[in-house]
A and B are shown apart, each in its own frame.
Chain A
Amino acid sequence: MGVFENKFQDNIVVASLDKLIGWARSTSPWFFQFGLACCAIEMMATAASRHDLMRIGMIPRSSPRQADVMIVAGTVTLKMALRVKKLYEQMANPKYVISMGSCATSGGPYWQHGYHVLKGVDLVVPVDVYVPGCPPRPEALIEGLLKLQEKIQSERPLTRKTA
């Protein structure tokens, strides 16, 4: 930063563009509501006033085109899996997926005998953060979201990747 030092007035902040983009993306990841089962209740509780997702910049959206994060909350059936995939593809880049609860992560209680249940949403879409629990408490989901924010922050979208 030596080049810019003492060249501007006091109210100007200098930062690297990579970090600036990371900061902007990570502090307002609007999420796509994907309530499929009982996990949806916990997701709603997380977004409601007691836990208040708005304070970490997350606003629920009902359209995939306005969302950055997809929270898959609940049991994904094979019938729904195709729709999950389609909706994921409709989201604009950069996009992230949180698998909430044991059903979305691995099939959960339907692991062995659920003929109709997708055994993990990562079979269909790439998952960034898995939140364990059946269903996870709001605190657990918030922990997962903060982990995701860390991940977004650490990305360097403008840096050329060297092999």
Chain B
Amino acid sequence: MTVNLEQLIKEAVEKALEGDMDAINNIEDRVTRSRAKASLVKAKREATKEKTETSLDENSDATSDSKKDKTSNEHISELLIQQFPDDINKELSSKKHIQIQPKNWLVISRYLRDDPASLFDSLQCITGVDLGEESDLEVRYNLHSMTHLHAVEIRISCPRNKAKVPSVESIWRIGDWFERETYDMYGIEFEGHRNLKRILLPEDWEGWPLRKDYEVQETYHGIIVPKVKEGWE
């Protein structure tokens, strides 16, 4: 008897799923009818769950594929190579940064801020790097876009004895203090900056403290600055 009932319910549900609700409604026994209806709901729920799972899988596959292909650095690098073919140093660029020649940096930075594909409205950080006593100095810019939520790192290197990089203080206003600090510590001149002077150290300080070849001054306004501390460590 029970076997028959279950088979009856199963057949009715199958018919109902195909669109024929009468198969369930015509069941005379009330208990059996409600059991059939419950299993119909269950079947429908499982069907939709499977569907969403498969569709989610497809979506995640699609996004991860596009991300696997290119980092935002590479993506922006391609855009820049189309616009400014001579200014991008392709060999020195990598997945994590874009190496740029200093000459047209002001134009490139304006393009990066205003172009709808990049829209870098936020300059997050400027870092100065001394690559060693024999090598160049480097400036690194971290840009972020609030609209696209992507970020890039731009690197510009310049020779030690003639360290000059165009200023982006007029593009991103925050660059004012960032560039003054980089100038203070590394002596990199930002051409076009409207108020380029030391920001942390006193204005009559000698030398650029974070360069590798920096030598501590012997006296400052008559105060002796001891250099080597013997018998320490």
How many chain B residues sit at the interface, stated as a range, is: 10 to 19
**Most B CB within 10 A of own CB, among A78, A81, A124:** A78
Q: A116 is contacted by which of B209, B229, B232, B233 (Cβ under 8 Å)?
A: B209
Q: Which residues of A contact B202 (CB under 8 A)?
A: 78-79
A79, A82, A119, A123 — most chain B CB neighbours (10 Å): A79
Tell me whether A112 is interfacial, beta carbon within 8 Å.
yes
Which of chain B's residues have a CB closer than 8 A to the CB of A119? 225-226
Q: Are A115 and B221 in contact (CB under 8 A)?
A: no
For residue A111, which residues in chain B have a CB less than 8 angstroms away from its CB?
A: 229, 232
Is B38 interfacial (CB 8 A cutoff)? Answer: no
Q: Could you tell me the distance between the alpha carbons of A116 and B223 in the complex, rounded to whole angstroms?
A: 12
B84 in contact (CB, < 8 A): no
Judge if A118 is at the interface, Cβ distance under 8 Å. Answer: yes
CA distance A123 to B216 in the complex (A): 18
Distance of B199 from chain A, by nearest CB (Å): 12
Q: Are B209 and A115 in contact (CB under 8 A)?
A: yes
B224 CB–A CB distance under 8 Å: yes
- In the complex, chain A residues whose CB is within 8 Å of the CB of B209: 115-116
Main secondary structure of the interface of A (DSSP, over half): loop
Contacting residues, chain A, for B225 (C-beta < 8 A):
78, 115, 119
The A-contacting residues of B in range 214-233, CB under 8 angstroms, are 214, 216, 220-221, 223-226, 229, 232-233
Q: Does B201 contact A (CB under 8 A)?
A: yes
User: Which B residues lie within 8 Å of A116 (CB)?
Assistant: 201, 209
The tally of residues in A whose CB lies under 8 Å from a CB in B reads: 12
Residues of A close to B223: CB separation below 8 A: 78, 81, 118, 123-124
Q: How far is the CA of A119 from the CA of B224 in the complex (A)?
A: 9
> How far, in whole Å, are A131 and B134 apart by their CA atoms in the complex?
45
Q: Nearest Cβ distance between residue A77 and chain B, in whole angstroms? A: 9
- The reply to whether A123 and B224 contact each other, CB–CB distance below 8 Å, is yes
Q: When chains A and B are docked, how far (Å) is the Cα of A14 from the Cα of B179?
A: 69
| A119 to B229 alpha-carbon distance, docked (Å) | 11
Q: What's the nearest-Cβ distance from chain A to residue B216, in Å?
A: 5
Q: How far is the CA of A119 from the CA of B225 in the complex (A)?
A: 7
Q: Which of A79, A115, A124 contacts B216 (CB 8 A)?
A: A115
Please report the C-alpha to C-alpha distance between residue A124 and residue B201 in the assembled complex, in whole angstroms.
19
Q: How far is it, in angstroms, between the C-alpha of A50 and the C-alpha of B105 when the chains are bound?
A: 58
Give Cα A119–Cα B219 distance, bound, in whole angstroms.
12
Closest residue to B210 on the A side, CB-wise?
A115
When distances are taken between beta carbons in the complex, the residues of chain A under 8 Å from B226 are 119
How far is it, in angstroms, between the C-alpha of A116 and the C-alpha of B220 when the chains are bound? 10
A sample of 27 inter-chain contacts (CB < 8 A) reads A78-B202, A78-B220, A78-B221, A78-B223, A78-B225, A79-B201, A79-B202, A81-B221, A81-B223, A82-B221, A111-B229, A111-B232, A112-B229, A112-B232, A112-B233, A115-B209, A115-B214, A115-B216, A115-B225, A116-B201, A116-B209, A118-B223, A119-B225, A119-B226, A123-B223, A123-B224, A124-B223
B residues near A (Cβ < 8 Å) are 201-202, 209, 214, 216, 220-221, 223-226, 229, 232-233
5 other A-B residue contacts (CB within 8 Å) besides A78-B223, A118-B223: A79-B202, A111-B232, A112-B229, A112-B232, A123-B223
